[in-house]
Structure 1
Amino acid sequence: MCSWNADCVEEIDAQRVLGYALFKDGKNTRLSYHLEKFHSDVAGRSFHNGRFIQRMREKAATLPNVRLEQGTVTSLLEDNGAIKGVQYKTKTGEEIKAFAPLTVVCDGCFSNLRRSLCKPKVEVPSCFVVLVLENCQLPFANHGHVILADPSPILFYPISSTEVRCLVDVPGQKVPSIANGEMAKYLKTIVAPQIPPELHDAFISAIDNGNIRTMPNKSMPADPYPTPGALLMGDAFNMHHPLTGGGMTLALSDIVVLRDLLKPLRNLHDAASLCKYL
């Protein structure tokens, strides 16, 4: 992470992550990051994503050349094959047009803007079932945990000093129903026997609390139409299975790459040459 926004992981109860632990067939091993040569504060961080994003927004808003506008982008504004900006709707329902020499489109995995900028071939190999375990100790403190289970992996990692997020990979696009109790039964009979015993009671409690969510895991190769005036980034552009929890790192490193690419340019208004350059 570039040093400018490193303090955005402070004051949100983010947890230091020093490596991964792998579990399979009753055995386990720990893979620690090689941090010996670095400053003592260098390590991974895991957190509530929304808290981190909010901190970055607040930080960006302090810059004199940044103005934050909140709304839902409804379409890209096009003129002669080039993107000139966006049309967006405010909370009050007002439709506003905003113009710019370069529009960065990064509206996530459910992007409704990517179709005009790439050939989306989205596949859904599986779904994640999401639970939050409270007040339990992971077998290896400050580590992500990957259980290589049957039929597919289960993840545990800390997101605050009292919470552990659990992601259960369920193959295919159809998951057991939460509403009729099928999901709770699946988690208790198929998944629970395969997790480390230290987490068993907290796992069952999280199921009984009923706050079970599901999200599709998507994969999409990067296949852009180079379009003058626009650049597609993040999950709107290219998706991998989120098993390794590297999405935020990837997003930040892509931003640094883009910053370094744009730094020498003094004029973004020549859309054709900018498009070719990018």
Structure 2
Amino acid sequence: MTETVEQHNEKRRRLHHEADVVVVGAGVFGCAVAFAMAKQGRSVLLLERWMKEPDRIIGELLQPGGVYALEKLGLAGCLEGIDAVPVKGYDVIYHGNEVVIPYPENAGGIYTGGCTGTEKKGQRPEGRCFHHGRFIAQLRKACAAQPNITIVETEVVSTISSTHNPQILGVETRTTNPSTGEKDQDCFFGQLTIIADGYASRFRKQYHKHTPIVKSKFYALELIDCPMPAPYHGIVVLSDSAPVLLYQIGTHETRALIDIPENLPSAAAKVGGVRNHIKNVILPSLPEQVQPCFAKALEDGKIPRSMPNSYLPPTTQMEKGAVVLGDAMNMRHPLTGGGMTVVFNDVLLLSELLSPERVPKLSDTAAVQNAMKEFHWKRKGLSSIINILAMALYSLFAANDRQLKALQKGCFSYFKKGGNCIDGPVGLLAGIIRQPFVLVYHFFSVALLSTWLVITETVGGLTGLWKLPMAVWEAILILYKACVVIFPFIFSEMRS
């Protein structure tokens, strides 16, 4: 019986550990890129240290632009059967005042459907929230069903370089021997090695010129059967403290993420630590209907699980034979929930640029490097928006000085105006609008509104005209602060 190409490639992967592509990490990016390349006929080895369903507090919200990309990749089915909850927009609560911000109807013209792709005109796009581990399990299941993918549970410890030229040939790993329980040295080889080992990447330092910047952590609670102020919306609670996020991740479960900046006095160990801050500062600032469930989640007496909120600007991939992608290459504050949207759109673009029609052999390192240069700049139409928006909004929402608090108030007042004042910003956040100029326009519209509010509130009326010079000076400081907030991130994206 003649052996098929798929059977031949599977044997080479299983017996000789050779493939067209070696993917390190079976997380969101790793699974998606392995699946996309396998669908194109590439032979793929997908390596993961631990194949058990992960239990993490990240990657739980997928914006509409990410749902759309997931559909295009043929992975929309991974959102089924995991008790995923629709997300229709955001609800921003500012010192007890509330504004609901729905996703815009087909803003920017790039999004045409929801999870099923069958929405009619007039219906708005939707995101999805879910338990991260359940979603990852579905992605891995989709990869396992692909005949061009072999999944191996093994710990990758280093890359393997050619002795003749500076080129990565594959990876060295440690694989558990089922008969002895010991970890044996192993090797896997590919024409291209894609490293996607997440935010705590062990390989980033070798190939990335930047290091992550961490200024705060998210502490997570899981609330059971919690009544939401706006069901099927992400809730952002703004007060005198850093922001709190609430979103439903299942029929009965709601995730609460509490942002705590570094060296926060009210969270210091000498005054009771993180739990004291959450109980005495955060709890009273939440909507009344949420407080009982929130308090109950604190009854276990434990410090909630946490994750660092990192910013890592992207960098062009120039290494021969290997690329570092996903969170190992680019991260932004998770406030806007844009990480997975960036990931799935990155995979879509990468699979197009490295398709067999454009790059017949991945061993052609010059062709791969040219594709990666193109990838780096083309992805910015979305990734730079998500990156800048996340970091700029966090600066406003975690306001810790007078000018930032004025910008925060101006931002909420801007949302209250409705119309394009919410359609534009939430369209950017959702991964629907992909025009960086729109982000700059709305950000400085918020800044100008903030200055106007300060001037009018300071002067008051004719009797307060003597205060006008002081109000104008404060307005200038607010505009300056707005520039200080956004321009470093813009420049970082442009030069990376």
TM-score above 0.5:
yes
Provide the residue aligned with 1:238 in structure 2: 330
- Counterpart of 2:166 (choices 81, 86, 98) is 81
Mapped to 2, the partners of 1:116 and 1:276 lie a distance apart of: 20
Q: Secondary structure at the match of 1:110?
A: coil
Higher radius of gyration, 1 or 2: 2
Provide the residue aligned with 1:186 in structure 2: 277
- Residue 274 (structure 1) aligned with residue 374 (structure 2): no
Comparing 16-25 with 113-122, which one deviates more in the overlay?
A: 113-122
Provide the residue aligned with 1:32 in structure 2: 102
Measure how far apart 1:75 and its partner are. Answer: 0.5
Confirm or deny: 8 A CA contact 2:78 2:135 kept in the other structure. yes
Measure how far apart 1:200 and its partner are. Answer: 0.2
The 3 A distance-change label for structure 1 pair 54 and 161 is same
Mapped to 2, the partners of 1:157 and 1:66 lie a distance apart of: 34
Q: Secondary structure at the match of 2:93?
A: strand
Mapped to 1, the partners of 2:131 and 2:283 lie a distance apart of: 24
Provide the residue aligned with 2:260 in structure 1: 170
Confirm or deny: 8 A CA contact 2:354 2:371 kept in the other structure. no
Confirm or deny: 8 A CA contact 2:92 2:235 kept in the other structure. yes
- Correspondence list, 1:3-42, <5 A: 3=71, 4-35=74-105, 38=113, 39-40=118-119, 42=125
Confirm or deny: 8 A CA contact 2:317 2:324 kept in the other structure. no
Confirm or deny: 8 A CA contact 2:85 2:248 kept in the other structure. yes
- Counterpart of 2:344 (choices 252, 255, 258) is 252
Mapped to 2, the partners of 1:177 and 1:136 lie a distance apart of: 29
Mapped to 2, the partners of 1:6 and 1:237 lie a distance apart of: 25
Confirm or deny: 8 A CA contact 1:117 1:224 kept in the other structure. no
Percent identity over the alignment is 34
Could you say which structure has the higher strand fraction? Answer: 1
Report the number of matched residues. 277
Measure how far apart 1:89 and its partner are. Answer: 1.4
Measure how far apart 1:174 and its partner are. Answer: 7.3
Confirm or deny: 8 A CA contact 1:117 1:232 kept in the other structure. yes
Mapped to 1, the partners of 2:139 and 2:263 lie a distance apart of: 33
- Correspondence list, 1:86-235, <5 A: 86-92=171-177, 93-172=183-262, 176=267, 182-210=273-301, 212-224=304-316, 226-235=318-327
Mapped to 1, the partners of 2:337 and 2:140 lie a distance apart of: 22
- Residue 49 (structure 1) aligned with residue 132 (structure 2): yes
Higher relative contact order (CA 8 A, sep 6+): 1
Measure how far apart 1:173 and its partner are. Answer: 6.1
Q: When the two structures are superposed, what TM-score results if normalisation uses the length of structure 2? A: 0.53
Q: Give deviations 1:90-134, integer Å, cap 9, x for gaps.
A: 234122110101111111110011111111322111111111111
Mapped to 1, the partners of 2:105 and 2:330 lie a distance apart of: 30
Q: Secondary structure at the match of 1:96?
A: strand
Mapped to 2, the partners of 1:46 and 1:112 lie a distance apart of: 29
Confirm or deny: 8 A CA contact 2:331 2:339 kept in the other structure. no
Mapped to 1, the partners of 2:89 and 2:371 lie a distance apart of: 38
Confirm or deny: 8 A CA contact 1:14 1:160 kept in the other structure. yes
Mapped to 1, the partners of 2:264 and 2:315 lie a distance apart of: 27
The 3 A distance-change label for structure 1 pair 227 and 84 is same
Q: Give deviations 1:185-220, integer Å, cap 9, x for gaps.
A: 211111011111110000011111245111111111
Q: When the two structures are superposed, what TM-score results if normalisation uses the length of structure 1? A: 0.93
2:370 partner amino acid: K
Provide the residue aligned with 2:437 in structure 1: none
Confirm or deny: 8 A CA contact 1:125 1:173 kept in the other structure. no
Confirm or deny: 8 A CA contact 1:127 1:173 kept in the other structure. no
Confirm or deny: 8 A CA contact 1:173 1:216 kept in the other structure. no
2:363 partner amino acid: H
Comparing 265-274 with 191-200, which one deviates more in the overlay?
A: 265-274
Confirm or deny: 8 A CA contact 1:124 1:173 kept in the other structure. no
Mapped to 2, the partners of 1:268 and 1:174 lie a distance apart of: 49
Q: Secondary structure at the match of 1:55?
A: helix
Confirm or deny: 8 A CA contact 1:87 1:96 kept in the other structure. yes
Could you tell me which runs of 5 or more consecutive residues in structure 1 were left unpaired when the two chains were aligned. Answer: none
Mapped to 2, the partners of 1:91 and 1:143 lie a distance apart of: 44
Measure how far apart 1:137 and its partner are. Answer: 1.4
Mapped to 2, the partners of 1:58 and 1:225 lie a distance apart of: 29
